[in-house]
Amino acid sequence: MFTYIKDTKLEDLGAGVSRRILAHGGKMMAVQVNFEKGAIGPMHNHPHEQLTYVLSGEFEFTIGEETHRVTAGDTLYKEPHVMHGCVCLAAGTLLDTFTPIREDFLK
């Protein structure tokens, strides 16, 4: 399956965060998330496994009880049901991969 950026929609989530659903199917989904400096990804959890690859920018991420600064090239793993969130320290973009797919994002 091919997904072309021109065929995707950038969704404004408000408060300096936008999301673009990329390739998905079967049990996997890739999502691009853009953050303006100072934007917050509120603490939350979900039943999906999630990998986050930092494409650009700088973020302070909390996963469970740990908080670390991450920059381009860093990768984070989030287990199902573990609380996580971030603060964007320098405008940037994340590439999130979920399994199974986030049906809630497709509605």
* Domain range annotation of the chain: 32-105
Q: How many Å apart are CA 45 and CA 79, to the nearest integer? A: 9
What pLDDT is attached to residue 80? 98
Q: How many Å apart are CA 102 and CA 91, to the nearest integer? A: 25
What pLDDT is attached to residue 19? 98
The domain 32-105 having CATH identifier 3.40.630.30: the answer here is no
pLDDT < 70 stretches in the chain: none
Full DSSP string of 8-37: S-EEEEETTEEEEEEEEETTEEEEEEEE-T
Q: How many Å apart are CA 59 and CA 89, to the nearest integer? A: 5
DSSP letter assigned to residue 38: T
